[in-house]
Amino acid sequence: MHVHAALGVATLVANVAHAQSSLDIYGRLDVGLVTPSKRVDSHNQTVTPEPLLLTSGSRNRVGLRATYDSADAWRMRLTLEQSLLGLNGEKLFDDAYWRNLKFADAVAMGTVSHYAWGRLDVGRRTDVAKDGADASHPWGSETVGSDRCASILRWPCPSHLDRPTGITVETPWIQERLKLFGQATRFDEEKVFAARAVYSDGARRVDVAFRRSSTGAWLMPVGLIEPVGAWRLHLLATVGRLRDSESGTPLQGNYLFVGATRGWRGGEVRIGAGRYRLKPADDHSHWSVGYHVPLRPDLVVYTDAALHNGREGTSGGQIDVGFKLTI
Q: Rounded mean pLDDT of the chain?
A: 81
Q: What is the predicted pLDDT for the residue at 40?
A: 57
The reported pLDDT for the residue numbered 87 is 46
Question: How does DSSP assign 108-160, residue by residue?
Answer: EEEEEEETTTEEEEEEE---HHHHHHHHHSSSTT-TTTS-TTGGGT-TT--GG
Q: Give the pLDDT confidence of 167-206 residue by residue, as tens digits.
A: 999 999 998 899 999 999 987 778 999 999 999 999 999 9
Instruction: For residue range 251-261, list pLDDT tens digits in order.
Output: 899 999 999 99
Beta-strand ranges (E) seen in 229-281 are 231-243, 250-264, 267-279
* Omega before residue 294 within 30° of 0, cis: no
- 12-21, 83-92, 224-233, 238-247: range with highest mean pLDDT: 224-233
Question: Looking at residue 102, what is its pLDDT?
Answer: 47
Residue type, 142: E
Asked if 187 contacts 159 with a C-beta cutoff of 8 angstroms, the reply is no
**Tens digit of each residue's pLDDT (9 = 90 or more) over 31-89:** 777 776 666 555 666 666 655 555 444 567 889 999 999 988 999 999 998 877 544 44
Q: What is the mean pLDDT of residues 133-137?
A: 93
Please tell me the predicted confidence (pLDDT) of residue 82: 81
Other CB atoms within 10 A of residue 249 CB: 11
Q: Are 185 and 163 in contact (CB under 8 A)?
A: no
Least confident of 29-43, 254-268, 286-300: 29-43
Give which of 289, 326, 300 is closest to 144, Cα–Cα: 289
| Torsion 274-285-32-303 (CA) sign | positive
Topology annotation, domain 20-321: Porin (2.40.160)
Between residues 247 and 160, which one has the greater pLDDT? 247
Mean pLDDT value across residues 299-317? 80
| Calpha distance 177→133 (Å, rounded) | 18
Neighbours of 202 (CB within 10 A): 7
Distance CA 302, CA 325 (A): 11
pLDDT reported for residue 94? 41
Q: What are phi and psi of 152, to 5 degrees?
A: -115, 25
